[in-house]
Amino acid sequence: VANTIRTYPVSSELYQKVASCAKKHAVTKFQVFFAAASMTVGQYCGSEDVVLGIPKNIRDEKTRNTVGMFVNMLPVRSKPVQEKSVSEYLKEISDSVKEAASHSDCSFEMMVEALCTEKDSSHHPIFDVSLNMLNMKSHHVVGDIEMKMTIDQQVLGTDLQIYIEHGESDSKVMIQYSSELFDQMVIDNFAEQFFSVLEKITEEADLTIRQALELPEAQKQVLAQFNETEQDYEKTDIVT
């Protein structure tokens, strides 16, 4: 389960790029973040078939005034094929998220029963990574009472939980992960790749997914240093 959290700031310039990209392609900001996250997860898993979980508010007219949490977790399948264009992929993501939302009244228990023939309590039955975007005010004032909203760390059933939090003054990405599965360095590298993908797809949608997933410069340098195996050696005559 995810029990450790890392937080990364999102610059106002990058968030504005995401908003502009969403408007240009007639998708939501959440769907742009979803595209970048699914591409990065696919790259790390070596797969072009990725399923991420997303929360969906299922409160309706009947439950509008009922106290409680009416949220269903929905699996969204995406296929970040490397030769596909980013613009095409954004359209696919938009359609997939809408399709999943149209079935939000399907209970999670029903999905597990239908999809999981073998149950294993050591991991989530349908997806291992989930994504959530929170647009929230950090402060609320009611009369003389001032309330500050915070997100407490929770023990979750997935191995990796990605939060995008957009507040009044700043934005950030929080990655909650299982420390039994991932080292902190792996999560930091994952976040660096995620931000690199986000920058590229919001600047040039004509890129292919392969181009958008090119390693960040810092990781290229680490890889180059790792592969530097040339060494000087004493040159002598060969005796046969």
Give the CA count within 13 Å in the CB-facing half-sphere of 148: 2
**pLDDT, position 72:** 72
The number of C-alpha atoms within 13 Å of 106 and in the hemisphere containing its C-beta is 13
Q: 112-136: per-residue pLDDT in tens?
A: 777 776 766 666 767 788 999 887 6
In a 3-state reduction of DSSP, which class is residue 134? strand
Distance of CA 228 to the CA centre of its chain: 33
* Tokens 């797809």 -> residue: 201
Helix (H) or strand (E) holding 20: helix 12-24
Query: In this predicted structure, what is the pLDDT of residue 149?
Result: 60
pLDDT by residue for the chain (240 residues), tens only, comes to 567 899 999 999 999 999 999 999 999 999 999 999 999 999 999 999 999 988 876 666 666 666 666 567 888 999 999 999 999 999 999 999 999 888 777 777 777 777 776 766 666 767 788 999 887 665 656 677 776 666 555 555 678 899 999 877 789 999 999 888 899 999 999 999 999 999 999 998 789 999 999 987 777 777 667 677 776 766 666 655
> Would you state the torsion angle of the CA atoms of residues 113, 159, 89, 191, taken in this order, to the nearest 10 degrees?
170
**DSSP 8-state class, residue 192:** H
Q: Which amino acid is at 74?
A: L
Measured torsion, CA atoms of residues 138, 139, 140, 146, in degrees rounded to the nearest 10: 150
